[in-house]
Chain A
Amino acid sequence: MDTQWPLWEVFIRSKQGLDHKHVGSLHAADAQMAMENARDVYTRRREGVSIWVVESKHIHASNPDEQESFFDPADDKAYRHPTFYQVPDSLTHI
């Protein structure tokens, strides 16, 4: 019998941050316990104002073996960056 509780991934939004950032993982029996464990383990030093927890099994990751076909084709397409435009002087705050 597997006596280990499921693994959860923890995401925290800091006071200044707009996005939740992955901070680590932990074990918990259910979402409620995962939330409280995340509070106790990852926000002891005022790291956050919001927590997301996701059971790790629900995360589908890209395959490291496909690294080349997945990511290399973007390497030589610098024109996809919006750096080839003249920005009119009257436009500020860009």
Chain B
Amino acid sequence: MFEANHYPEEVNVALSDFLLRMADTSLVLGHRLSEWCGHGPILEQDIAMSNLALDLIGQARNWYQLAATQLGQGQSEDDLAYLRDAGQYRNLLLVELPNGDFGQTVLRQFFFDAYHFHYLQALTESGDENVANIAVKSLKEATYHLKWSSEWVIRLGDGTEESHRRMENALRELWEFTGELTTPNASDQLLTIMGLTPDLNLIRPLWEQEVQVVLAESTLEIPNRSWMQKGGKNGVHTEHLGFLLAEMQFLQRAYPNCEW
């Protein structure tokens, strides 16, 4: 459990917005990965994806607990996860996209991991020690995730004719959702000035570098489209999130306060 740090009102609002984004992003991606459980292409990767899911849901719990602490309205981590609607979710759009085939799941994971790894690394220097502590803890997991997803992107991209074609499809589907990863919103800008979160504009070249190296090795070409989707950080989502939440939140919605 965390001790709340005290900030001026507008900083705390921005910080809570950031914390919910970190939590929602990890939870939604963890949920997506959990959808593979029992459906993986081979037993070993079925387990690997379940491991990734559990890591991310564990990270989400930490971020939710800290968010609840900073919000100070007596909510629990479960309230935040199960009782907010799509418009209140702050996750990045990329992670709410459907799994598609294994290649699409792997590429989505790689785009996310390349951002997550560098962002967490910079967050370990946060001026808020609670944020820094969660980042340190999550970074070990994110390091393995990035290794896992990079290698699969390379294997499939530089694999058979079919796997290469599927990766090209995945790239076309996902590319326009990558801009949001490293585009700061108003909360980010304020928190960066306050020294609480790193400047996402400095994370972008690190992300691009990572992506260029891995896609080159995968024999995949980076699309030369610059138009990017945005909205997740401010609660404007694709049509997919509502369906995901309907399934994930069903139990708490149908049987309020039920426990097992």
Interface positions of A (Cβ within 8 A of B): 5, 26-29, 32-33, 36-37, 40-41, 44
Contacts and interface: CB of A to CB of B under 8 A. Distances in A.
Main secondary structure of the interface of B (DSSP, over half): helix
A32 B44 contact: no
A32 B154 CA distance: 13
Given A37-B44, A44-B51, A29 B155 contact: yes
Interface of B: 42-45, 47-48, 51, 147-148, 151, 155
Nearest to A43: B51
7 contacts: A27-B42, A32-B151, A33-B155, A37-B45, A37-B48, A40-B47, A40-B51
Given A33-B155, A44-B47, 10 more contacts: A5-B42, A27-B44, A28-B44, A29-B155, A36-B147, A36-B151, A37-B44, A40-B44, A41-B43, A41-B44
Contacts of B45: 37
Contacts of B51: 40, 44
Contacts of B48: 36-37, 40
B142 to A, nearest CB: 15
Contacts of A26: 43-44
